[in-house]
A and B are shown apart, each in its own frame.
Chain A
Amino acid sequence: MDLATVLIVEIFYSIAVLVVISAGLAVVFGMMRVINLAHGEFMMAGGYATIVAVNAGINIYVAMLIVAPLVVGLIGLVVERLVIRHLYGRLVDTMLASWGLSLVMIGLATMIFGNTTTGISPPIAGFAIGGYQVNGYNFFIIVVAALLLVAMYALLAGTRAGLVARGTMQRADMAAALGYSPDRVYMVTFFCGSALSGLAGGLLAPLVGLVPTTGGTYIAKAFITVISGGASIIVGLLSSATLFGLVSQLFTFAASPVVGEVALLVAAVVLLRLLPQGITGRFFRGRL
């Protein structure tokens, strides 16, 4: 029974990780239709921001939850003003530009931090479930992922700012006619998306060995999750993360991590063949 509990925790954790690493992309790509291939590097920047902050003596939770999102949000802001804002509505061009950006960020990180693995220790100790030891930090990620989804939902569905953002993404001209500046709305939304990527990087920093190329590990999974989720940002994110987290962990546990990764990709291919519009193209239609 203990093993089953541990397995369930691992599945929830896996879902939570997918939610966390995809949330920023869901906003930038799902809402704004900007293919941000530098999403992984935004996460990497968040990780380095956290490590630098912790080494400078800042509390680790402050570093992860505030410093990392803020730093990466600001990076995103600069990028949006200099590059992305000229490319709205040009899907392929955003892809090229952000790919270049990701190379630049990897280069910069290598110059600044060197090409060596760095990291910090998780702040929460492990504990026992029956005869099994579990990583306590996993629960923290699960809780943060849940809070993140609730907060995103509350912001987008419950506030005027959320409404304006959603409206602008659907019909920028109508939003402008109603007196809102689409330029400003896009800028703020991109800031929020980047900050979410930074948060993901910060949260994962204590779990991984960070190198400048770390972003590549996450970018594919993030895109798969967001695309498979479909049009609805939050419901789509949650449903595809649940599906893929479940599939990959069950197969990892039953066979090996290789099979787990393969199972995730096979599930994504089958899913997109059956539901080309993503999960929320058929189920939960019209939800947020």
Chain B
Amino acid sequence: MTSRREFLAGSAALAASGLFAAVPGARAADPIKFGSILDMSGIFDAYGKPMDMAMRLAIDEINAAGGLLDRPVEVTAYDTQSDMALYTQFGQQLARRDKVDVVHGGILSASREAIRQTLRKSEVLYFYNVLYEGGVCDRNLFVTGVTPAQQVEIVVPAAIKKWGPKIYILAADYNYGQITARWMQKYAAEAGGEVVRTDFFPLDVADFGSTIAKIQSAAPDIVVSALVGGAHLSFYRQWAAAGMKPKIPMASTTLGVGNEHKVLTAEEGDGILVAYNYSPEIASPANERFLKGWTDKYGDTSLIHEIAVSNYQGVHVWAEGVRKAGTLDRDAVIAALTQGLSIDGPGGMVAIDPKTHHAVLDVHLMEFAGQKLKVLESFAQRQPVDTQGVCDLVANPDDNTQYEIKI
């Protein structure tokens, strides 16, 4: 019989020797270090987990094609557990201890801002691959998600053309909702529409009875929503339950990002108009390849959403930049990325706008149909006009601001 203490000491020694044995010998080509920082657990894991899966798929594809610069790419990933404080910590670890060559990640704008300055100071290239409110101007940062103007300039005029000029706007009461609502007002006015009213809702409002009555008394032709999160999903349900769906049609800039079209029933969702960069229904060779790769690696494709695809495309954009530059040097890669580079992603062609380092990408007008996103029309190569209005990194390369975009 060994005592418990001896047993513990023995197993600790075993574990330690196991660890040492696992350290690999030096490789012929040192791997390129790819840093990823995402919320893979906690309340944002529904966004973060598929983003991580998409990133790993992209890296696998790159390595299967022989890596970059004849070197394999190795992922160093941190799970920030939906805790903003951990972003600061892991961001510094990636830059200073792991000394990675690039960082992809961040989900909420708050998480991006938590690591952006660290990475800028440490001169580590940073990719933020998420749909967000626009306006960040930083030479070290590349953004491959859509911004409000890119969506709104498609979806609002389309809705007005389809259904009529009077618009009622519902939006979440924080910077994304406020900014998006302003773009909606602008594009509605340009398309000859008229905004009858704009209402903002705190993120925990789940009862929309009075709002639904108020909308009816305003009698708009269209309801346009930028509502966010689980509580706000109640609106669509209560709207359908009140029998309003056949009476006033709806468009949205947010519904579907978290795969809401699969949560709402077909009766609740059908006919809602949206505009995004990606739908699994897009018929293109690049998308078929992506879906096949995902199925081979993970099986179930139902987890794929807009920002997972943004992350996938972001990784490939970076890889293309490194290939073009022929080196990992940050300035050379930035130069390569901003000189007319593009990739053919699942959501269409993705290019980088040299003035803003934001993506120029295809936006697809879609409609909810039978819990899927049916593509109605595709708009090629939309510029990030919102950020372009405030940011010019060509003229002003040292800019380091998140602008509040005035419209």
B297 on interface, CB distance cutoff 8 Å? no
**In contact, B260 and A117 (Cβ under 8 angstroms):** yes
Report A119-167 residues with CB < 8 Å from chain B CB.
Answer: 119, 121-122, 124-128, 131-138
Across the interface, A126 reaches (CB within 8 A) one of B211, B243, B263, namely B243
**In contact, B231 and A209 (Cβ under 8 angstroms):** yes
Chain A residue with Cβ nearest B217: A3
Residues of A within 8 A of B264 (CB): 119
**In contact, A206 and B237 (Cβ under 8 angstroms):** yes
Residues of A within 8 A of B213 (CB): 3, 6-7, 10, 132, 134, 253
Interface window among B200-208, B285-293, B309-317, B352-360: B200-208
Residues of B within 8 A of A3 (CB): 213, 217
Across the interface, B216 reaches (CB within 8 A) one of A118, A131, A136, A256, namely A131
CA distance A155 to B81 in the complex (A): 47
**In contact, A258 and B202 (Cβ under 8 angstroms):** yes
CA distance A214 to B229 in the complex (A): 11
CA distance A261 to B202 in the complex (A): 9
B270 on interface, CB distance cutoff 8 Å? no
Are A252 and B230 also in contact (CB < 8 A) when A121-B267, A207-B237 are? no
**In contact, B207 and A17 (Cβ under 8 angstroms):** yes
A89 on interface, CB distance cutoff 8 Å? no
Report A203-232 residues with CB < 8 Å from chain B CB.
Answer: 206-211, 213-214, 216-217
**In contact, A14 and B241 (Cβ under 8 angstroms):** no
Q: Chain A: interface secondary structure? A: mixed
Residues of B within 8 A of A116 (CB): 46, 258-259, 263
Residues of B within 8 A of A114 (CB): 46
B233 on interface, CB distance cutoff 8 Å? yes
CA distance A257 to B198 in the complex (A): 12
Residues of B within 8 A of A137 (CB): 241
**Contact flags (1/0) for A1-21 with B, using CB distance below 8 Å?**
001001100100110010000
**In contact, B231 and A217 (Cβ under 8 angstroms):** yes
Are A208 and B206 also in contact (CB < 8 A) when A119-B263, A135-B238, A257-B201 are? yes
Residues of A within 8 A of B240 (CB): 121
Residues of B within 8 A of A133 (CB): 212, 216, 242-244, 247
| A-B contact number at CB 8 A | 126
Residues of A within 8 A of B242 (CB): 126, 133-135
**In contact, B263 and A209 (Cβ under 8 angstroms):** yes
Are A209 and B233 also in contact (CB < 8 A) when A118-B263, A126-B242 are? yes
B265 on interface, CB distance cutoff 8 Å? yes
A156 to chain B, nearest CB (A): 29
Residues of B within 8 A of A168 (CB): none
Across the interface, B202 reaches (CB within 8 A) one of A213, A214, A257, namely A257
**In contact, A135 and B207 (Cβ under 8 angstroms):** no
Report B36-85 residues with CB < 8 Å from chain A CB.
Answer: 42-46
**Contact flags (1/0) for B249-263 with A, using CB distance below 8 Å?**
000000000111001
A282 to chain B, nearest CB (A): 30
Across the interface, B46 reaches (CB within 8 A) one of A115, A119, A261, namely A115
**In contact, A258 and B200 (Cβ under 8 angstroms):** yes
Report B204-240 residues with CB < 8 Å from chain A CB.
Answer: 204-207, 209-214, 216-217, 230-234, 237-238, 240
Chain A residue with Cβ nearest B303: A116
CA distance A138 to B206 in the complex (A): 14
**In contact, A135 and B233 (Cβ under 8 angstroms):** no
A22 on interface, CB distance cutoff 8 Å? no
Residues of A within 8 A of B205 (CB): 257, 261
A61 to chain B, nearest CB (A): 16
**In contact, B209 and A14 (Cβ under 8 angstroms):** yes
Residues of A within 8 A of B265 (CB): 121
Are A216 and B204 also in contact (CB < 8 A) when A121-B237, A210-B230 are? yes
Residues of A within 8 A of B43 (CB): 115, 211, 213
Chain A residue with Cβ nearest B248: A133
B184 to chain A, nearest CB (A): 17
**Contact flags (1/0) for B102-140 with A, using CB distance below 8 Å?**
000000000000000000000000000000000000000
**In contact, A217 and B206 (Cβ under 8 angstroms):** yes
B199 on interface, CB distance cutoff 8 Å? yes
A260 on interface, CB distance cutoff 8 Å? yes
**In contact, A208 and B231 (Cβ under 8 angstroms):** yes
CA distance A118 to B202 in the complex (A): 20
Residues of A within 8 A of B231 (CB): 208-209, 214, 217
B268 on interface, CB distance cutoff 8 Å? yes
A249 on interface, CB distance cutoff 8 Å? yes
CA distance A191 to B204 in the complex (A): 29
Residues of B within 8 A of A125 (CB): 241, 243
B173 on interface, CB distance cutoff 8 Å? yes
Closest CB pairs A-B (n = 10)? A126-B243, A209-B233, A126-B242, A211-B230, A135-B242, A117-B230, A122-B241, A209-B230, A208-B234, A252-B210
**Given known contacts A116-B46, A207-B206, A209-B234, what 18 new A-B pairs fall within 8 Å (CB)?**
A116-B259, A119-B233, A121-B240, A121-B265, A121-B268, A124-B241, A125-B241, A132-B213, A133-B243, A133-B247, A136-B241, A208-B231, A209-B233, A209-B237, A211-B43, A217-B204, A256-B201, A260-B210
A-B contacts, 14 listed (Cβ < 8 Å): A10-B210, A117-B260, A119-B237, A119-B264, A122-B241, A131-B216, A208-B233, A209-B234, A213-B230, A216-B204, A217-B231, A253-B214, A257-B205, A258-B202
